[in-house]
Amino acid sequence: MAANTVHRVVCYYQTFCGLASLLALPDPLPVTHVVVAAVHFGTNKDGSPYIHLNDEDPDSKTFDPVWAELAELRKRGVTVTVMVGGAGGAYGVLFSDFATYYPLLRDFLEAKQDVLQGVDLDVEETVTLPDLKMLIRRLDSDFGVEFYLTMAPMAGSLTSDGSGMGGFSYKELVSSPEGMRIDWFHGQFYGDFDAETYDACVANGYPARQVVMGMLSGEYSDDKSFAQALAQVHQLAEKHGPDFGGCFVWEFSDSPPSHGKDPAAWAQAVSKALTTDSRTRKATDARCTSSSSPSFCAIL
């Protein structure tokens, strides 16, 4: 089972570098959630519609090892979801012909239900709030309340009530029945990964339990900057206790401190930073010291 049953430790996984570094760790695993990225829609040269995971059909043999490793993680207690959208878009095409493209998404999720347990909606293009609500209603109707629905706004969309990249107000969304269906937010705290910004989200009415604090891997090129980020995580875990939503990284393949040499080291370091009980921290120290990449243990 995953190690952190209180706080979420989330890895976004788009560059399919392999999950061997995670799978090689003993239980309990330090990561609690993996978000596979990213689903997009489009039209083939013959005019037929498609759904792609990155640049290929999700059923491509290319992804067989990916799905197999994700299935193994799920067996070991990790929640696996899939991201729709992101910087590459998805929603403009989806909402341009919802009757055509939504069934492709539904069928993909049904086909992968042995692995996928939810959808992360990363809206980085202008949409209308009615369209977004329609999507949430359909996902909820088709997959039920046990199917996770999350979103990935920029931190500024949670600290204020104005329109974000999607052109809508998250505060207006969460005040609606559809918005209440969102389980939590993967807040993109890029450039603002600090306790002050996180607490501003909480002060603006978002419960700490619903906000996962996200870091961009490229912002932490050395141990000092990563240690400062981990200190912020630990400070928030101590302040909010079990209500602190946790932490994510974009993305797994380049995550600090190893930046590709041992991607699982990020989850181990964050899991330690989230631990506030001294006895548990000693046990975590022992586990990471005996790992294949123990250098991060000295960071915090």
Cβ–Cβ under 8 Å, residues 151 and 123: yes
Quick one: CA torsion of 161, 187, 235, 200, rounded to 10 degrees?
-10
- At residue 56, the 3 state secondary structure works out as strand
- Determine contact, residues 39/82, Cβ cutoff 8 Å: yes
Whole-number pLDDT of residue 276:
82
Helix axis angle, 278-289 relative to 264-274, nearest 10°?
160
Pair 94, 105: CB distance under 8 Å: yes
The CATH number assigned to the domain with range 8-298 reads: 3.20.20.80
Cβ 187 vs Cβ 215: under 8 Å: no
Q: Which residues of 156-195 are buried (b: 16+ CB within 10 A; e: fewer)?
A: bbbbeeeebbbebbbbebbeeebbebbebbbbbbeebbbb
| Residue 277, pLDDT score | 66
Using CA atoms, how far residue 252 sits from 130, 234, 262, in Å, is 33, 20, 10
CA distances from 61 to 13, 65, 68, 109, 151 (A): 18, 8, 11, 17, 29
Residue 290 has a pLDDT of 47
Query: What's the CA dihedral at 249, 253, 254, 255 to 10 degrees?
Result: 40
Q: How many CB atoms lie within 10 A of CB 47?
A: 6
Domain ranges in the chain are 8-298
> E strands along the chain, which residues?
8-13, 33-43, 49-53, 79-85, 118-122, 148-151, 184-188, 211-216, 246-250
pLDDT along the chain (300 residues), means of 10: 69 98 96 98 97 97 98 98 96 98 98 98 97 98 97 98 94 97 98 98 98 97 96 97 97 96 97 77 48 50
Distance CA 211, CA 186 (A): 6
Tokens in use for 100? 């055509």
